[in-house]
Structure 1
Amino acid sequence: MTTTTARATRGHADGGAAGAAGAPARARWTWLGVGAGVLGIVATMFTSPNVGSDRVGPEALAGLSRGQLQLGGALGYATVALLLVLAASWRVKALATTRGAVAARVVADGLTASAAALSLGYGWKLALALYLPGGINENGFTTDGQFFYFMLNDFGPFIGYLGVVVAAGAVAWLSLRDRLVSRWLGLVSLIPPVAVLFMSGVLSIAGFPGIVGPIWLIVAFAGLSLGSHELLGTAKSQPDSRRVSGSGSLGRR
């Protein structure tokens, strides 16, 4: 005797009356990605210690804003926290619908890797603010020591978004290969890894992940929040001949 086999019912964000009425509920946890992207842009781009010179030396420290650096580091730590919660939410909410897809695991791992790297990048920004004149430990380092932290801040917070770029590539795979995410989002998600590959391989620019990574977080997770995606259970169910099987060990008893 054969029985009908089906994939596990996808859990919706709220899973209540909306699902019963045939309108999948929207995921709410995905907005964490939008928040991480917004905070990341402010913490990375708008608080970067840019002195606008081609030959930078210790004298550049005089042009830095300690308050700006401190704000960037604090917002950066908040960004790290959001990325960690986002990665955990992805593992709990999204992995259940991917049927063991490796790419889905790479998304969570990439977000976690960026959170770890950005903890250092934004920590160096806070350290620079700590040792500059006006900081609690302003006498802790000489000008040369302060300049060392300045150099770490040149690309430090920008490099940390490489994991986010890898996550973007995994989302592109989930879209274009596994058909679990809408096609437009897959095409958009191809841009960060291709751009970073070009900028690093051709121009040796290490910090480009910090430019495209936060922007991708905003666009991609807003799209996941508002669009229809099989990955999140927000796409209307379609008939699937694979759900009915008259053979195989799972279909027999």
Structure 2
Amino acid sequence: MTTLDTTAPGSTPGTGPRPSARRSRWPLTAAAAGALGFVATMVLDGRGGVPVEVRFTDGFFDQLDPVIYRLSLAVGYVAVALLLLTAAQWRRRVEPRVPGSTAAHLVPLGLVASAAGLAYGYGWKGALGLYLPDGLEGGSFDDTGLAVYYMLNDFGAWIGWLGVVVAAAAVAWMALRERTVSRWLGVVSLLPVLQTTLMVGLMGVPGVPALLAPLYLVVLGVGLAFGRSPVSR
């Protein structure tokens, strides 16, 4: 079991962790990142339920709304910034308290990896919105060029959530093995890990990390901020 350093940031020397009434709410940045990421990836998907059989037919790109893609870009970029902020806060507040935990060091690496991947994913969505027929630079690409951007967006904003799934595995280890995170959060952390592992292994679909990872971040952030995890006291 990993031992907490009660002299690290977030603790008062000689007295152990700070009382819950004074607990920092920094994990809520993770919840905000997850909520905005869910909106940018799922709600603002952009494909608008267009049937597969009419994709890339004449007039197909006229049916896509560039505003949705631009909104996804803006909301997604904020989510990326919050992922990076969460990673920085974790390194400052959590890692010093459990310096011997490899899992604790893995969590911010997973968040940064997702931030990098999602920056490209949301960037491609913004680019497609820019070049669609009704976009600000409509006509810059013919249908062949637009088809390339469309295909990049098929899973572009979904694949990047894999880093969060890796972070979830690390949190599960911290909770169930090291007991530095509440056990119920460890159980919840296993859900995106198992879901992604099974679906990638059985179906080979690359975008499945996004199905649970954004919502998982919401639960994790709220759970750490208002729960009784030793590392967040």
2:53 is paired with a residue of what secondary structure? coil
Kept after mapping to 2: 8 A contact 1:49/1:154: no
Q: Where does 1:127-138 land on structure 2 (aligned, <5 Å)?
A: 127-138=127-138
Aligned to 2:23: 26
Q: Where does 1:126-165 land on structure 2 (aligned, <5 Å)?
A: 126-165=126-165
Kept after mapping to 2: 8 A contact 1:87/1:108: yes
Tell me the percent identity: 43
Aligned to 1:228: 228
Higher mean displacement: 132-141 or 97-106: 132-141
1:103 matched to 2:103? The reply is yes
- Tell me the amino acid that sits aligned with residue 43 of structure 1: A
- Unaligned 5+ segments in structure 1 are 1-5, 235-253
Kept after mapping to 1: 8 A contact 2:94/2:231: yes
Q: 1:36 aligns with which of 28, 33, 37?
A: 33
1:175 matched to 2:172? The reply is no
Aligned to 1:64: 64
Q: Give me the TM-score of the superposition, normalised by structure 1.
A: 0.83
Aligned residues: 225
1:119 is paired with a residue of what secondary structure? helix
1:177 is paired with a residue of what secondary structure? helix
CA deviations on 1:11-34 (whole Å, 9 max, x unpaired) are 328x7xxx8985562222111001
Aligned to 2:7: 9
RMSD: 2.1
- Unaligned 5+ segments in structure 2 are none
Deviation at 1:105, TM superposition (A): 0.9
CA distance in 2, matches of 1:193, 1:166: 7
- Tell me the amino acid that sits aligned with residue 210 of structure 1: A
CA distance in 1, matches of 2:213, 2:104: 18
CA distance in 1, matches of 2:56, 2:19: 64
CA deviations on 1:162-201 (whole Å, 9 max, x unpaired) are 0001000100000001100010000000010110001110
Kept after mapping to 1: 8 A contact 2:25/2:225: yes
1:216 is paired with a residue of what secondary structure? helix
Kept after mapping to 1: 8 A contact 2:200/2:206: yes
Change in 2 beyond 3 A, CA 1:173/1:146? same
Aligned to 1:242: none
